[in-house]
Amino acid sequence: MMYYIYHTGLPKEQLEKIKNREYTHDEIEHLYQWIYRHYQAKQRAWMMAVMIVSVIIVVVGLLGLLKVSEKIMMIYLGAILVTTIMCVLICIYVKINMVNKDIRQFQKALSMGYPEFYERIVQR
Using CA atoms, how far apart are residues 49 and 91, in angstroms rounded to an integer? 8
Domain spans of the chain, in order of start: 25-122
Query: Positive or negative, the Cα torsion across 7, 24, 120, 109?
Result: positive
- As a whole number of angstroms, the distance between CA 94 and CA 87 comes to 10
Mean pLDDT, range 103-119, rounded to an integer: 91
Q: Of all residues in the chain, what percent carry a pLDDT higher than 70?
A: 95
Contact of 122 with 32, CB cutoff 8 Å: no
The pLDDT value recorded for residue 39 is 95
- Residues 113 and 18 sit within 8 Å (Cβ to Cβ): yes
Check if the beta carbon of residue 87 is closer than 8 Å to that of residue 23. Answer: no
pLDDT digits (tens, 9 = 90+) for 34-84: 999 999 999 999 999 999 999 999 999 999 988 888 889 999 999 999 999
